[in-house]
């Protein structure tokens, strides 16, 4: 199983803790140590599972908006996007549980024209105000269909680290990685009002594969 580059520090700490706690359990509990070691092994395995990088065949897209993350669609509504678009847009929000793949992908192809990191709170990720009050990043892409598409990584109550690797001027390719969020969170995508929304609330998405919307040229 391929692991994400963001896993190094976490897996190193988890490995040391697993070894130390298992050794202490064996020393003090002897034959009863398995009662401690087995649950530790489950937790240790989940750390590896969280940082997995699945093999996915990413296609080229122009009009299609691709799911940026694995998760569940929890919101589709018309909103005011005040940071970059400064006007009305359709917001599609996808919630990620700690068991989902947490690679963040470009939803559209084009050119990165804006990026910004915002410190903030750690409200639960499904809270509507988390989009504007939580720790978050905002990225905007000028799409191949000449639309400005904004998407936002949002830290949740558990997620405490957001990373994004893109810079202004970079080429964005729908479905390809631009960042990572550790341990459960949400991604919002803000689309033009005339976008055809294909997904619906409750849909389970696969990042880089599923088409969630289609923009007009």
pLDDT (tens digit per residue) in 143-152? 999 999 999 9
Residue-averaged pLDDT of the chain: 92
In the chain, count H helices and then E strands.
3, 14
Running DSSP on this structure, what letter comes out for residue 5? G
Residue 195 has pLDDT above 90, yes or no: yes
Whether 71 shows a pLDDT value over 90: the answer reads yes
- Do residues 185 and 125 touch, judged by C-beta distance below 8 A? yes
Catalytic option among 109, 131, 143, 185: 185
The strand pairing partners of 185, in sequence order, are 96, 155
Q: Are 154 and 125 in contact (CB under 8 A)?
A: yes
Q: Residue 184 has what pLDDT?
A: 67
Q: Give the pLDDT score at 130.
A: 62
User: pLDDT at position 135, please?
Assistant: 86
Confidence of residue 123 (pLDDT cuts 50, 70, 90): low
Can you tell me the mean pLDDT for 54-70?
96
Q: Are 152 and 104 in contact (CB under 8 A)?
A: no
Q: What is the mean pLDDT of residues 171-186?
A: 90
Looking at the chain, the whole-number percentage of residues with pLDDT higher than 70 is: 92
Region of 36 (left: φ > 0; alpha: ψ -120 to 50; beta: rest) is: alpha
- Whether the Cβ atoms of residue 215 and residue 90 lie closer than 8 Å to each other: no
Task: Evaluate if residue 95 carries a pLDDT over 80.
Answer: yes
pLDDT band at 126; cut points 50, 70, 90:
low
22 is catalytic: no
pLDDT of residue 176 exceeding 90, the answer is yes
- Answer yes or no: are the C-beta atoms of 191 and 108 closer than 8 Å: no
- Determine the Cα–Cα distance for residues 116 and 99; give it in Å rounded to an integer: 27
CA–CA separation, 33 and 50 (whole Å): 26
| pLDDT for the residue 174 | 98
């Amino acid at each position: 199983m391929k692991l994400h580059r963001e896993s190094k520090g976490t897996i190193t700490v988890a490995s040391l803790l697993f070894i130390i706690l298992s050794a202490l359990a064996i020393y003090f509990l002897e034959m009863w140590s398995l009662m401690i070691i087995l649950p530790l092994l489950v937790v240790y395995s989940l750390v590896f599972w969280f940082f997995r990088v699945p093999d996915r065949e990413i296609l080229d897209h122009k009009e299609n908006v691709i799911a940026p993350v694995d998760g569940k669609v929890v919101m589709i509504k018309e909103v005011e996007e005040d940071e970059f678009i400064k006007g009305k847009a359709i917001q599609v929000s996808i919630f990620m549980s700690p068991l989902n793949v947490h690679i963040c992908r470009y939803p559209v192809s084009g050119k990165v024209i804006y990026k910004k990191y915002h410190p903030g709170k750690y409200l639960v990720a499904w809270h509507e105000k988390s989009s504007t009050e939580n720790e978050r990043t905002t990225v905007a892409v000028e799409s191949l269909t000449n639309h400005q598409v904004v998407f936002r990584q949002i830290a949740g109550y558990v997620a405490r680290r957001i990373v994004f690797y893109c810079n202004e001027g970079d080429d964005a390719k729908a479905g390809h990685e631009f960042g990572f969020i550790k341990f459960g969170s949400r991604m919002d995508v803000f689309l033009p009002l005339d976008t055809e929304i294909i997904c619906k609330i409750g849909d389970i998405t696969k990042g880089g594969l599923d088409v969630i919307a289609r923009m007009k040229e």
